[in-house]
């Protein structure tokens, strides 16, 4: 049966490309998805599946009930876009100014719809149930995963699989990893209150710009001197604003940054250390401050058994040389919430192809991927579902 549905997936590939390109031309930002979930829901409804809309806010969940007994497997795809101007020279370039699918979520969505379509055609012979989770707002914390979970998208689910197409991996390759695979992604803000004045009389001021500059340097000591060197961590200041005129010492300075960790103890340590350094730096200079630390997605932890399953099936599908065990990624992903509730794994499918201009990194204005990655994703999803039904304990 597996070969039959895989062949059928190849037959409907042009339909998946058409759907993907429609999403690409009309992208919608996180928490502002209106037409995208409507299109997804209509597609799934036409397949005769049980469809829930507005799950957790803007999510869509469809359930396929197989004709044979078995467990319930969930598959997840995200569908939000990014606030980036599309600069690709392709017929399906985004028609929405300043918004584009620069991370491959349109590929994830169309690929999952392909799996739903081929399974709907053989549902009477298929074992168990399949839950198709189409998630909104992955790109922007607090994300769509948690509200969808709270709204019941994982009820009755035994295992879940997720995927991300990766433009820096060659098309035809797959990467997997068990354990911690993607980092917790947090944000912090510091507002420094100094005492402004004339640039010619710095002794009469408390220079917030200088205090802020010192704080940026001090923060770099957290990872190098406070964190166990065997535990990965990143503290990055990505925004620093202070002052407007060349001869005026500014009254305030503001910093924004991100923290990436895997270990929860390290996460808590860094949160406290940023505040401690901020307090010491500001008080030492006679400045005031305010500090805000916002926790984003938790670290993503892949379950070993399901990771091994996907790795084995990927080698069967593409050959052992095309499958590798990857290093952890410091990027964040709210698929982590699903994995905190049920076993599963999140893997990466190569979409890079320089011959078609698909060689730019994610979140780049010219981002694109080889659309055939949808077929690899779909085939691996199909193989994982059936293997789980046949071999899970």
pLDDT, tens digit, 9 for 90 and up, residues 341-385: 999 999 999 999 999 999 999 999 999 999 999 999 999 999 999
Residues 327 and 282 in one domain: no
Residues 327 and 387 in one domain: yes
Q: What is the pLDDT of residue 308?
A: 97
CA distance 393 to 377: 25
Domain boundary among 244, 260, 294: 294
Q: Is 80 an active-site residue? A: yes
Q: What is the pLDDT of residue 79?
A: 98
What's the residue count for the chain? 393
86, 138, 139, 207: which one is catalytic?
138
Q: What is the pLDDT of residue 393?
A: 66
Residues 206 and 283 in one domain: yes
Residues 334 and 233 in one domain: no
pLDDT, tens digit, 9 for 90 and up, residues 106-134: 999 999 999 999 999 999 999 999 999 99
Residues 12 and 152 in one domain: yes
Domain CATH code at residue 33: 3.40.630.10
- Runs of H (alpha helix) within 121-200: 145-150
Residues 47 and 194 in one domain: no
Q: Is 138 an active-site residue? A: yes
Residues 173 and 189 in one domain: no
Its domain, for residue 81, covers: 2-180+299-391
Residues 231 and 365 in one domain: no
Residues 304 and 157 in one domain: yes
pLDDT, tens digit, 9 for 90 and up, residues 71-101: 999 999 999 999 999 999 999 999 999 999 9
80, 186, 271, 371: which one is catalytic?
80
CB contact set of 14 (below 8 Å; sequence gap of 6+): none
Q: What is the pLDDT of residue 220?
A: 95
Structure tokens, 161: 């699989």
Q: What's the domain count of the chain?
A: 2
CA distance 309 to 317: 12
Question: Residue 267: which of 222, 302, 334, 303 has the closest Cα?
Answer: 222
Return the ∠ at Cα 180 (arms to 317 and 389), rounded to 5°.
40
β-strand 252-261 against 159-170: which pairing, if any? unpaired
Domain boundary among 294, 321, 340: 294
Residues 190 and 125 in one domain: no
Structure tokens, 296: 């984003």
Residues 219 and 335 in one domain: no
Residue ranges in the chain modelled with pLDDT below 70:
393
Domain boundary among 247, 262, 294: 294
Domain CATH code at residue 288: 3.30.70.360
Residues 121 and 235 in one domain: no
């Amino acid at each position: 049966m597996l070969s039959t549905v895989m062949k059928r997936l190849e037959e409907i590939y042009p339909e998946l490309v058409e759907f993907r390109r429609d999403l690409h031309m009309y992208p919608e930002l996180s928490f502002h998805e209106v037409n995208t979930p409507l299109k997804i829901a209509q597609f799934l409804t036409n397949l005769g599946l049980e469809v829930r809309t507005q799950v957790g806010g803007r999510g869509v969940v469809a359930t396929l009930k197989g004709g044979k007994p078995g467990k319930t497997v969930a598959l997840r795809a995200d569908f939000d876009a990014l606030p980036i101007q599309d600069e690709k020279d392709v017929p399906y370039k985004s028609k929405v100014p300043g918004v584009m699918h620069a991370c491959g979520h349109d590929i994830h969505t169309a690929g999952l719809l392909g799996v739903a379509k081929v399974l709907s055609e053989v549902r009477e012979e298929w074992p168990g149930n399949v839950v198709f989770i189409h998630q909104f707002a992955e790109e922007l914390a607090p994300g769509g995963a948690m509200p969808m979970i709270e709204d019941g998208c994982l009820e009755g689910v035994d295992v879940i699989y997720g995927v991300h197409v990766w433009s820096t991996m060659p098309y035809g390759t797959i990467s997997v990893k068990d354990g911690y695979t993607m980092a917790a992604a947090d944000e912090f803000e510091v507002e420094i209150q100094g005492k402004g004045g004339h640039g010619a009389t710095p002794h009469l001021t408390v220079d917030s710009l200088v205090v802020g500059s010192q704080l940026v340097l001090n923060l770099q000591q957290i990872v190098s001197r406070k964190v166990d060197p065997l535990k990965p961590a990143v503290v990055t200041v990505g925004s620093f604003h202070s002052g407007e005129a060349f001869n005026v010492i500014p009254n305030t300075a503001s910093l924004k940054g991100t923290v990436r960790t895997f270990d929860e103890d390290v996460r808590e340590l860094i949160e406290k250390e940023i505040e401690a350094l901020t307090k010491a730096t500001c008080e030492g200079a006679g400045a005031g401050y305010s500090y805000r630390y916002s926790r984003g997605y938790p670290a993503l932890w892949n379950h070993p058994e399901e990771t091994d399953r996907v790795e084995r099936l990927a080698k069967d599908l593409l050959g052992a040389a095309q499958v590798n065990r990857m290093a952890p990624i410091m990027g964040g992903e709210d698929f982590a919430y699903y994995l905190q509730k049920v076993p599963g794994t999140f893997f990466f499918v190569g979409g890079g192809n320089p011959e078609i201009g698909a060689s730019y990194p994610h979140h780049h204005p010219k981002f694109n991927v080889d659309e055939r990655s949808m077929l690899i994703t779909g085939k691996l999803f199909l193989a994982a579902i059936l293997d789980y039904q046949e071999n899970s304990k």
